[in-house]
């Protein structure tokens, strides 16, 4: 909300000229300052003139030729604006004048006609950003007056962000009330005596939906003369960001800004039957609103109707048929109270947010309409020559009274951490219009302009706000001792390990497209293909919640590849969303955490002198083994497999405790191509939970102080036998002194024959209590060889 300080001074004697100080005050009251603008005169030499004559420009269709007097002989002025006719009172910059932005005005030929100055728009005078037409002044202003004398400047205009709980502060008086409380100054509420004329108004108001419209005040003013409103009012409206239209509309807007009560002015001669009925719209009804748009109404829309049909959206916008126009003489001022949700939904449904709707949807004081209508009528009498008609219609079936809220004074120290005496609390509350009685609890009467204050906590907030949040001390409570869980600590180690292995951590948005899931080669019956749809997705291409982290990572890798990056190794830890009930709450989908990684191209430690390795299946399996060894994941197994989306011959299922927890390997070349990449892509996706799950404590093993016996065994065996089977068999058959078995060579070739391969292992034996001799180890070595040869259709090719 835009707040002119000069305008505020109508209501409260703001004791500072310093905008920065005032900004601090607004902030401390809870009205966030988005900014402020210091306004001053930006022109000189502008005189009030009258347009005597308007004729077409002989050489230009878009220009007109005006005869304008500023007190002396009329001069020709060429003008491009069309929002005025002969007789209009206007600001004229005569030759020698300087306009906002420094433009010096002289005598200038425009399309062959000499123009002796300019008729000015608000923007040209630095009084707003309205370029749409020239300023048309109140007809009462005397021609020849220096325009600068009419302009109430300098001024400071604040842009305040009003929180949704404070509809009362969406008005000059509301802001003045808070400033008054802060500075302990009285607030002046404008009130004039309204003289009404007989006979009584014939306007009849019926509330068919008193829930949607608990109160409707209709007040008639007749004999108005529609014209431009006075300059001061125009400028105040402009300072608030509202374009002046004419005196009647301007007055309704002015009173809205002053009091916070939205008003509507109907041309009473166009209200059929002089009858107002407030009801819900009926199916098929339509309304052409003031913005010229035809709108189809829903049965949820609350509308104002006359004898012939709908004339306005209640609390949002009026209709064209009953709009106040230049010929209007009888005005019906509507000041009503509407149900906030009803206004909100109509505004949303028709995408129409107005000054009125933004106030009604937050809750306007139900006891304001009477006063606001009277204020508007008084201004119409004063500024538009109107006469207020007796017989105001005020339909208010159930009067809403101020309500009591009990406040136990112990709540102040309990919730704020400060001690305040009862008298201080009473005083603070009285500053914002809350009256208190009683000892303890206090019984506080809350005025109806504060619909947000209903409970003791709400009063506590008001006490704190007016007392000042800055007066609350700082104390530091300490919890009972929390700390990270084992899983949280392990996850951190896991992330540290992944970065240590060369992967950088990525964060992708949680959405995927149907096509992404197809491209990943997931079969139709895979749970991961049935992504949960977002009803209002951000991007049509990604309407689903991700069921895998790989799609996002592959896109990130491609993004980086397109920038020529060379360390294409990323990992991500995050949730996927599966269409099955969550174990923690069956109402919501399962949302397990996953770890995924992708590496493409050079990986590991490239060397200027010497080569580098290219990421492949073994990069993926090595990454998995590093996780297992470093995190101490028990019972972890890597098994040749063909997980969806992976290369059928270069991928593995990984198992923990006998359950598949994910896959590692190279992605299928078709998947790689579909994500715009090429070459081998090492990848893996694993459930996080088993990786970080709590483990039993490990038990220390004393390292032997005796030397080992080490020997190598190379076997010729079937090419389909996995090396893991060989290692397991060696381990099983080695006996108690076995320390380790490690594969150190594998090859195939003509010397071995079709379908055969060679695998060599190095075996370490060591006893805890003595030095082993070759003779001691020999029978064990023989047993290993025999078992392998028998069980794996292998034969020993050589050994040491």
Residues 338-377 that bind other proteins (CB under 8 A): 340-341, 344-345, 348, 361
Decide the pairing of beta strands 387-389 and 196-197.
parallel
Residue 656's SS3 state is strand
The encoded tokens of residue 627 equal 């996780």
Minimum CB distance to other proteins, residue 497 (Å): 10
237 or 568, CB closer to other proteins? 568
Could you say which residues in the range 555-584 bind other proteins, by CB under 8 A? 556, 559-560, 563, 565, 567-571, 573-575, 577, 579, 582, 584
Output the CA–CA distances (angstroms, integers) from residue 515 to 58, 161, 518, 678, in the order listed: 65, 44, 5, 19
Annotate each residue in 151-170 with x if it binds other proteins (CB under 8 A) or - if it does not, as one string: ------------xxxx----
Residue (237 or 428) nearer to other proteins, CB: 428
> 3-class SS at 88?
coil
Assess 38 for contact with other proteins (CB under 8 A).
no
Which run of H or E residues covers position 444?
strand 442-446
Restricted to residues 173-192, the positions that interact with other proteins (CB under 8 A) are none
Closest to other proteins by CB, 29 vs 335, is 29
What whole-number distance in Å separates Cα of residue 311 and Cα of residue 330? 16
Give the residue, chosen from 74, 152, 309, 604, that forms a contact with other proteins under the rule CB under 8 A: 604
Interface positions, 399-428, toward other proteins (CB under 8 A): 413-418
Q: Which of 316, 376, 388, 545 binds other proteins (CB under 8 A)?
A: 545
State how far the Cα of 520 lies from the Cα of 643, in Å rounded to an integer. Answer: 11
Give yes or no for a contact between 353 and 391, defined as CB atoms under 8 angstroms apart. Answer: no
- Binds other proteins by CB under 8 A, chosen from 86, 293, 307, 538: 538
Contacts to other proteins from residues 665-704, by CB under 8 A: none
Strands 646-656 and 636-640: antiparallel
608 makes contact with other proteins (CB under 8 A): yes
Residue 193 Cα distances to 115, 250, 376, 382, angstroms? 48, 21, 12, 11
CB of 625 to other proteins, least distance (A): 18
Q: Which residues contact 617 (CB under 8 A, 6 or more apart)?
A: 647, 650, 651, 652, 664, 665, 666, 680, 682
- Which of 227, 223, 196 is CA-nearest to residue 386? 223
Separation between Cα atoms, residue 722 and residue 718, nearest integer Å: 9
Cα Rg for the chain, rounded, in angstroms?
41
Q: Measured from the CB of residue 506, what is the shortest distance to other proteins in angstroms?
A: 4
- The CB-of-362 to other proteins minimum distance in angstroms stands at 10
Coil/strand/helix, residue 147: helix
Q: What DSSP state is assigned to residue 281?
A: P
Q: Across-strand partners of 276?
A: 205
Task: Kindly tell me which of 535 and 770 has the beta carbon lying closer to other proteins.
Answer: 535
The per-residue DSSP string of 493-519 comes to HHHHHHHHTTPEE----SEE-HHHHHH
Nearest distance from C-beta of residue 739 to other proteins, angstroms: 29
Cα 227 to Cα 714: distance, rounded to the nearest angstrom? 106
Stretch that binds other proteins, among 145-153, 520-528, 585-593, 693-701 (CB under 8 A): 585-593
In the complex, minimum distance from the CB of residue 610 to other proteins, in angstroms, rounded to a whole number? 8
Tell the smallest beta-carbon distance from residue 368 to other proteins (Å): 21
Please, what is the Cα angle at 10 between 9 and 11, to 5 degrees? Answer: 85
Q: How far is the CB of 37 from other proteins (least distance, A)?
A: 15
Number of residues that bind other proteins (CB under 8 A): 99
Region 425-484 residues binding other proteins, contact defined as CB under 8 A: 455, 457-458, 460-461, 464-465, 469-470, 472-484
| Closest approach of other proteins to the CB of residue 494, in Å | 11
CB of 750 to other proteins, least distance (A): 37
Query: Cβ 395 to other proteins, closest distance in Å?
Result: 25
- For residue 353, give every residue at least 6 positions away whose Cβ sits within 8 Å of its Cβ, in sequence order, or none: 347
- For other proteins, which is the closer residue by CB, 397 or 479? 479
As measured in angstroms, the least distance from the Cβ of 207 to other proteins is 21
503-532: which residues touch other proteins (CB under 8 A)? 503-510, 532
Binding residues for other proteins restricted to 6-25, rule: CB under 8 A: none
Greatest pairwise CA separation for the chain in angstroms: 132
Residue 209 contacts other proteins per CB under 8 A: no
Q: How far apart, in whole angstroms, are the C-alpha atoms of residue 6 and residue 10?
A: 7
């Amino acid at each position: 909300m835009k707040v002119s300080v000069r305008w505020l001074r109508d209501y409260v004697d703001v004791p500072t000229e310093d905008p920065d100080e005032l900004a601090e005050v607004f902030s401390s009251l809870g009205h966030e300052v988005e900014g402020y603008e210091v306004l001053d005169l930006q022109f000189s030499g502008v005189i009030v003139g009258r347009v005597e004559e308007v004729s077409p420009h002989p050489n230009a269709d878009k220009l007109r030729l005006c005869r304008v007097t500023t007190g002396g002989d009329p001069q020709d002025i060429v003008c491009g604006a069309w929002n005025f006719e002969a007789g209009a009172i206007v600001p004229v910059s005569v030759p020698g004048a300087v306009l906002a932005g420094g433009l010096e005005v002289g005598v200038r030929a425009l399309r062959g006609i000499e123009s002796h100055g300019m008729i000015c728009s608000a923007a040209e005078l630095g009084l707003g950003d309205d370029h749409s037409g020239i300023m048309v002044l109140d007809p009462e202003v005397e021609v020849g007056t220096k325009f600068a004398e009419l302009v109430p400047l300098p001024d400071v205009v604040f842009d305040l962000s009003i929180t949704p709980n404070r509809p009362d502060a969406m008005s000059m008086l509301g802001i003045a009330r808070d400033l008054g409380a802060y500075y302990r100054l009285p607030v002046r509420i404008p009130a004039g005596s309204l003289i009404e004329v007989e006979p009584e108004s014939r306007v009849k108001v019926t509330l068919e939906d008193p829930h949607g419209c608990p109160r409707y005040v209709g007040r008639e003013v007749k004999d108005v003369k529609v014209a431009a409103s006075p300059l001061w009012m125009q400028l105040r409206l402009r300072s608030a960001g509202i374009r002046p239209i004419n005196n009647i509309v301007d007055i309704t807007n002015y009173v809205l800004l002053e009091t916070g009560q939205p008003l509507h002015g109907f041309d009473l001669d166009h209200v059929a039957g002089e009858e107002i009925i407030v009801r819900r719209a009926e199916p098929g009804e339509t309304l052409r609103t003031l913005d010229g748009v035809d709108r189809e109404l829903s049965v949820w829309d609350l509308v104002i109707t006359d004898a012939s049909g709908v004339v306005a959206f209640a609390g949002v916008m009026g209709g064209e048929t009953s709009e106040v126009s230049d010929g209007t003489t009888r005005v019906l001022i509507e000041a009503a109270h509407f149900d906030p949700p009803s206004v909100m939904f109509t505004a949303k449904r028709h995408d129409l947010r107005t000054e009125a709707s933004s106030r009604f949807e937050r809750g306007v004081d139900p006891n304001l309409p009477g006063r606001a209508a009277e204020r508007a009528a008084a201004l119409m009498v004063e500024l538009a020559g109107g006469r207020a008609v007796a017989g105001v219609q005020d339909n208010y079936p159930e009067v809403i009274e101020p309500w009591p809220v009990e406040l136990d004074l112990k709540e102040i120290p309990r919730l704020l951490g400060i001690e305040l005496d009862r008298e201080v609390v009473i005083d603070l509350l009285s500053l914002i219009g809350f009256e208190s009685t009683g000892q303890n609890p206090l019984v506080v009467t809350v005025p109806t302009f504060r619909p947000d204050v209903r409970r003791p906590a709400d009063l506590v907030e008001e006490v704190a706000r007016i007392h000042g949040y800055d007066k609350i001390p700082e104390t530091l409570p300490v919890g009972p001792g929390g700390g990270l869980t084992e899983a949280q600590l392990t996850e951190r180690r896991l992330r540290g390990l992944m970065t240590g292995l060369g992967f950088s951590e990525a964060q992708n948005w949680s959405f995927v497209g149907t096509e992404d899931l197809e491209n990943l080669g997931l079969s139709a019956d895979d749970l991961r293909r049935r992504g949960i749809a977002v009803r209002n997705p951000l991007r049509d291409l990604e309407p689903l919640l991700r069921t895998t982290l790989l799609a996002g990572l592959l896109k990130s890798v491609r993004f980086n590849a397109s920038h020529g990056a060379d360390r294409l190794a990323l990992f991500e830890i995050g949730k996927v969303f599966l269409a099955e009930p969550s174990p923690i709450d069956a109402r919501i989908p399962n949302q397990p955490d996953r770890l995924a990684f992708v590496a493409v191209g050079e990986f590991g430690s490239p060397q200027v002198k010497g080569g580098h390795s290219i990421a492949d299946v073994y990069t993926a399996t090595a990454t998995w083994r590093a996780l297992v060894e470093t995190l101490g994941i028990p019972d972890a197994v890597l098994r040749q497999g063909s997980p969806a989306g992976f290369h059928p011959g270069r991928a593995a299922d990984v198992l923990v405790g006998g359950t598949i927890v994910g896959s590692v390997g190279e992605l299928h070349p078709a998947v790689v191509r579909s994500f715009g990449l090429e070459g081998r892509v090492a990848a893996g996706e694993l459930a996080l939970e088993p990786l970080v799950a709590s483990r039993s404590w490990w038990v220390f093993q004393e390292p032997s102080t005796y030397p080992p016996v080490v020997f190598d065994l190379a076997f010729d065996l079937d090419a389909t036998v996995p090396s893991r089977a060989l290692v397991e068999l060696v381990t099983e058959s080695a006996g108690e002194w076995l320390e380790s078995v490690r594969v150190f060579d594998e090859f195939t070739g003509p010397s071995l024959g079709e379908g055969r391969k060679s695998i060599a292992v190095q075996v370490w034996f060591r006893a805890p209590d003595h030095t082993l001799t070759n003779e001691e180890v020999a029978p064990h070595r023989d047993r290993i060889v025999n078992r392998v040869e028998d069980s794996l259709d292998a034969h020993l090719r050589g050994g040491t």
